Amino acid sequence: MSSSETAAAGRGSLGEALYRDLADALMKGALRPDERLKIRELARQAGTSVTPVRDAILRLVQNGALAMRSPRDIRVPVLARDQYLEIRQIRLHLEGLAAEAAARAADAADIERLAAVIAENELAFAEHRLDRAIALNQVFHFELAAIARMPILGEILRNLWLKMGPVIAAAYEAGGRTMIEHHGHVLDAIRRRDPAAARKAIRLDIKSGGDVILRTGILFEPR
């Protein structure tokens, strides 16, 4: 491999790592709706040039996870109400499927891991560590697809959560424990090997959290 090819490969792997970091920040709610991303600041934090940062951001712009108002104004989108409702409807079906399948597939280690996530999330709430609680909420939801042994479904959900993570995070303080009150019910259903109950519990979780989102005023309402 030539030196130019080696350099290109290095930039590619760095760009991929930056993309994963930004995507993870979106999914875990570390970025909020309408928050502006500064390429030079992100490059400084990563200890790199602006090129791989710009490349990572452009990938997220292309799939709708970020919005480019101008080359210097890149922001987390503010979802319109109808966009949110469409995504919520899709989540109700797909995460319901994940919960059902998890109830059938879970082994003792899976159940222990899911219980640990819920316990840590409860502790984060009790200690008012909101950022940690928000991140653990995403971990809980993604664990269901992982326990179900459905990696393609997990990838689809990750794409949805690129858009949903910031919205859920913005509503978390207003929602409080409403945002996680059904997680224990999901776990109980999985322990009982009850797919229907697991599906019902995760759908209730999505709906109750969604009710908070709909009344907080964080969605764009076209006039």
More confident: 7 or 70:
70
Q: Span 144-155, mean pLDDT?
A: 98
Q: How far apart are the first and last CA of the chain?
A: 57
Residue 179 is predicted with a pLDDT of: 95
| pLDDT of residue 8 exceeding 90 | no
Residue 2 is predicted with a pLDDT of: 42
d(CA 153, CA 98): 8
Residue 222 is predicted with a pLDDT of: 72
Q: Span 143-160, mean pLDDT?
A: 98
Show the domains of the chain with their CATH numbers.
3-75 (1.10.10.10), 81-215 (1.20.120.530)
Strand, helix or coil for residue 74:
strand
User: Which residues lie across from 220 on neighbouring strands?
Assistant: 80
Helix runs in the chain, H state only? 3-27, 39-46, 50-62, 81-105, 108-126, 130-147, 151-175, 183-191, 195-215
**Per residue in 122-148, pLDDT tens?**
999 999 999 999 999 999 999 999 999
d(CA 83, CA 85): 6
Residue 190 near residue 138 (C-beta atoms within 8 A): no
User: Which residues lie across from 59 on neighbouring strands?
Assistant: none
Q: Is 52 exposed, middle or buried (0-12, 13-18, 19+ CB in 10 A)?
A: buried
Q: How far is CA 76 from CA 34, 179, 198, in A?
A: 5, 22, 32
User: Which residues lie across from 75 on neighbouring strands?
Assistant: 36, 67
> What's the number of CA atoms in the CB half-sphere (13 Å) around residue 220?
10
The radius of gyration of the chain's CA atoms, rounded to the nearest angstrom, is: 19
User: Which residues lie across from 70 on neighbouring strands?
Assistant: 73
**Per residue in 111-122, pLDDT tens?**
999 999 999 999
Q: Span 79-88, mean pLDDT?
A: 97
Residue 193 near residue 205 (C-beta atoms within 8 A): no
More confident: 104 or 71:
104
Residue 60 near residue 26 (C-beta atoms within 8 A): yes
Residue 37 is predicted with a pLDDT of: 97
How confident is residue 5, by pLDDT bands cut at 50, 70 and 90? very low
Q: In whole angstroms, what separates CA 42 from the centre of its chain?
A: 20
User: Which residues lie across from 36 on neighbouring strands?
Assistant: 75
- Cα-Cα-Cα-Cα dihedral of 79, 83, 84, 89, to 10°? -160
